[in-house]
Copies of this chain bind each other. A is one copy, B any other.
Amino acid sequence: MVLERGLASTRVADIAKATNVSGGLIHYHFATKDDLITEMLRSTSGSEIQRLREIAAEPGGAVERLDRVLRFYIPASRSDQSWILWLDAWAVGVREAHVRTILLELEGAWIEILAEVISQGAATGEFTCDDPQGAAERIDGMLDGLVVRYTLHAGGMSRGRLLHHARVAAAREVGLAVAVFEDQSPAPED
């Protein structure tokens, strides 16, 4: 519902209708609309973090694992609009500390996982990187920014180009050639 209508203009009645439930019931379980929204964000962020950890933990070489994380980061396709939620949440988070906390956890998890994968790759000698934390922050930031662009402007950037950028930046951060990453999977075009 929020992806469809936006955080700001989603009404309690919309959610009630979509869940085949009365408006009263929503307020029986959640004191205020803010509570409901915050809980939803917390839950969504939580499962995203969990899924991310699983994906990072799956076996494979450092290149393979890093590339898997990158691919999980970016939208699966044009029709994957899940990022809209976080664009909305950023705007709300400017004013609401609870939301900001959730966002901090989510971004923190991404950076932590990225830093960990890069560190491990450096430890095994597959990567060359003397500042995994910094590299993770830069990669995370770049993906955030590029995904905004991808999500907002249909024609502005293809998913393939987005993935390419991610791989170029990642490859540079860990001292490898892009080609090593591009071999991981074909880049789609939409």
Contacts and interface: CB of A to CB of B under 8 A. Distances in A.
B138 A142 contact: yes
Nearest to A89: B91
Interface string A86-130: 011011011100001001100100000000000000000000000
A153 B104 contact: yes
A95 B87 CA distance: 12
Contacts of A103: 152-153
A91 B91 contact: yes
A56 to B, nearest CB: 20
A160 interface: no
A64 interface: no
A69 B40 CA distance: 39
Nearest to A131: B168
B90 A94 contact: no
A7 B144 CA distance: 21
Nearest to A84: B94
A157 to B, nearest CB: 7
A157 B133 CA distance: 12
Contacts of A168: 134, 138
A51 interface: no
29 contacts: A6-B91, A6-B95, A7-B91, A8-B8, A87-B90, A87-B94, A90-B90, A90-B91, A94-B151, A94-B152, A100-B153, A103-B152, A104-B153, A104-B156, A107-B153, A134-B164, A134-B168, A137-B157, A138-B146, A140-B145, A141-B141, A141-B142, A141-B144, A141-B145, A142-B145, A142-B169, A144-B145, A145-B146, A169-B169
For the complex of A and B, list the 6 residue pairs with the smallest distance between their C-beta atoms, beginning with the closest: A144-B145, A141-B145, A145-B145, A141-B146, A142-B142, A91-B91
